[in-house]
Amino acid sequence: MALTNAKPKDLALHVLEKLEHSNLALPLPPLVVLECLFECVFFASMRTEESDLVKVTVTLIDPANPDPKPPRKLVPERWSIIKFDVLMELTIKALVKLSKASDPSSTSLAVYYDEHGKLFIWGMIDQALHYQSFLNYESESGSEQPGLFQVSVSDIGTLDVLFDYELLATLKQNVLVPRYLDVFTIGPVSKILKANAVNLKTDIRAFLADKHPDEDFEDWETFLDGLWIQTLSRLLLRIQNYHHGGALLITHTDVDVDVDIKYRVTYDRLKNAISKYAEETINNYVAETLIDDHIASGKKMMSKDWYIEESRSLLAKQGIADEIKGCISFLASHTCVDGVLLFAPDMVSNGFGGVLKARRTPKKIYVSPTATATPKSLVAADPNHFGTRHRSMIAYCWNHPGSLGLVISQDGDIRAFYRIEEKLIMWENIKTQQFIKSRKLKRSATNK
């Protein structure tokens, strides 16, 4: 549950409590050190440098033991630390100045503390783009992370603290969010999206029957659901990055009903690319399996066609992944025009710049603090307390059951709207990045 009227010291206490359950053989910083660190980063986020907002990531990492357990095999893209000749005191001014040279999409600043608890900046860490790519579903594997944890500025007064790929907490101005709702994986929203993937599943079922009859569709259904949901998550993340705000509506209703689309298009390239990506993923898996099984059987000879197909399908898969990335960028840019980006359930865009014309609103909406929207957990709210963009989406989803509305605020908050029987449900603090629970953190009954 989110904590209101929170301060950096509340974030520090929460993070320390989480780290006390870690399996790392590393010293934990005193609470006062965490408080100073988060206060410095928090206030730096409210500054500008050369008229730009400050965006920076800080890694708490010990210069005396920066890499305590390196892997046996070091991959080329693994992180490294470039040390400064002279240590710098961690101050708001120093952090703001260095932020211009440390784009968080590729770099983080190495920070630690001395025996007196005084924080200092001692270097820079490279290769962070692989970490960001995994978080944003743009790569299939995540890179190993340095240090104890990372704290990133994602917006004014907004700090994200991550341990490996697990989000420990977010401080949004005065609200402490200990976790994001995974509505795309479980609950009513997840069920809608998985149902919307029916055309993709039909295509792949037919593809398997034609090209790979020995493969069971059920073995691939979870993969298809994940691919569908990840694509939507990537689109929302891309829209967030514009800091313009926007709205996305997925509806079964005829596009002319209660929607005035200024820029009508029919864009099905994303839908088709997803299907092609799934097919080539299956082709590559089957080719790899044939080769591995043949080698495991001890046979010395095998068909060169298997190797050719493995290479061909892998290259095709990589090319289609780039195509999907381009489609997502193309669609996300449409939200920079005021109005709704309208989707059919099968992820075909029907236009953008849409004005929602439904006016009848419910007297109350219900905020769900859980992904499953259990009736006992719902909290009633007045729809008039929200802005115009939210109210128009509330009215549309109320008048058109089965429609899923997603509103992205200028500050990056994402809210989902869906009508369940006679209640209009709203979910906020929605998980869009690929946060994964770390195996290095022990689980108690309260933090599972």
- Give 448's pLDDT tier (boundaries 50, 70, 90): very low
Q: Which sequence spans correspond to the domains of the chain?
A: 8-177, 188-427
- Give 165's pLDDT tier (boundaries 50, 70, 90): confident
Any alpha helices (H) in 110-183, and if so which ranges? 129-135
| Same fold? 8-177, 188-427 | yes
Q: Which two tokens stand for residue 267?
A: 């864009």
- Give 145's pLDDT tier (boundaries 50, 70, 90): confident
pLDDT at site 443 = 47
Domain boundaries 188-427, CATH class: alpha beta
The angle subtended at Cα 130 by Cα 325 and Cα 47, nearest 5°, is 90
Name the residue with tokens 């603290």.
161
**Average pLDDT over the chain, rounded to whole?**
90
Name the residue with tokens 């928090």.
42
First to last CA, the chain: 14
Instruction: Pick 354 or 22 by higher pLDDT.
Output: 354
Of 139-153, 172-186, 303-317, minimum mean pLDDT range: 139-153
Name 341's bridge partners: 248
Domain boundaries 8-177, CATH class: alpha beta
For 223-237, give the DSSP string: HHHHHHHHHHHHHHH
**289 three-state secondary structure:** helix
The contacts of residue 231 (CB under 8 Å, 6+ apart) are: 137, 270, 274, 324, 328, 347
Q: Kind of pairing, strands 379-381 and 57-60?
A: unpaired
